[in-house]
């Protein structure tokens, strides 16, 4: 399988509870390498732009408020089949449906406050990485 890169975000519910290191350990244990990482406090407008694909969904406003409510850690993860592997390590969107041992099963508080974001396809991964990182900030 090809080496891929994917965009990950450790969300405000997780940074609030000081879970960055525990979540990063899950990525690293799964063979994902953190090749870029920075802590940011997004504005609601920036969060809205990032999640523009969900603009028509009923939870959009709440999602943007939440993403701007506290710092996030944005990161690029690299590895074989990184996009799917990251989604596997994250677990289902709703923690009630997430498999045991996944990040969301262990740490997420609700379907909205679910600790992590991960790109869902190669095209979105490329767009989302470019949204947050300049090429020189990614060190493979
Ligand atoms: P993400 O994009 O954050 O990696 O999560 P995902 O693919 O598993 O889920 P997606 O359908 O893309 O939804 C994006 C984020 O919106 C919030 N959400 N809230 N209240 C709700 O019913 C609801 N549904 C989704 C979650 O934070 C979800 O991760
Ligand atoms: Mg998504």
What span, in angstroms and rounded, lies between the C-alpha atoms of 32 and 70? 25
Residue 11 annotated in ligand binding = yes
Proportion of the chain above pLDDT 70, given as a percent: 100
Predicted confidence (pLDDT) at residue 4 exceeds the cutoff of 90: yes
Q: How far is the CA of 93 from the centre of ligand 1 (A)?
A: 6
Q: Which helix (H) or strand (E) holds 58?
A: none
Per-residue pLDDT tens digits for 127-139: 999 999 999 999 9
Q: How many CB atoms lie within 10 A of CB 67?
A: 21
* Contact assessment for residue 12 and residue 137, using Cβ atoms and an 8 Å cutoff: no
Cα-only R_g, the chain:
14
Residues composing the chain: 140
Per-residue pLDDT tens digits for 82-129: 999 999 999 999 999 999 999 999 999 999 999 999 999 999 999 999
Predicted confidence (pLDDT) at residue 1 exceeds the cutoff of 90: no
Residue 44 annotated in ligand binding = no
Residues 6+ apart with CB under 8 A from 92: 98, 99, 102, 104
**So what's the pLDDT on residue 19?**
98
**So what's the pLDDT on residue 121?**
98
What span, in angstroms and rounded, lies between the C-alpha atoms of 74 and 38? 5
* CA distance between the termini of the chain: 17
Q: Is 117 labeled as catalytic in the residue annotation? A: yes
| Average confidence (pLDDT) over 15-40 | 98
| Average confidence (pLDDT) over 27-42 | 98
Q: If 0-12 CB within 10 Å is exposed, 13-18 middle and 19+ buried, where does residue 129 land?
A: buried
């Amino acid at each position: 399988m090809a080496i891929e890169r994917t965009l990950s975000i450790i969300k405000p519910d997780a940074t609030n509870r000081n879970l960055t290191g525990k979540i990063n350990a899950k990525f690293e244990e799964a063979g994902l390498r953190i090749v870029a990482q920075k802590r940011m406090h997004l504005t609601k407008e920036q969060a809205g732009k990032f999640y523009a694909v969900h603009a028509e969904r009923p939870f959009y406003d709440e999602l943007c408020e939440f993403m701007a409510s506290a710092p996030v850690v944005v990161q690029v993860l690299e590895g074989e089949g990184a996009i799917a592997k990251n989604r596997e390590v994250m677990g289902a969107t709703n923690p009630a449906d997430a498999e045991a041992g996944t990040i969301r099963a262990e740490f997420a508080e609700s379907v909205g406050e679910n600790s992590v974001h991960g790109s869902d396809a190669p095209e979105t991964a490329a767009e989302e990485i470019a949204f947050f990182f300049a090429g020189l900030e990614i060190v493979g």
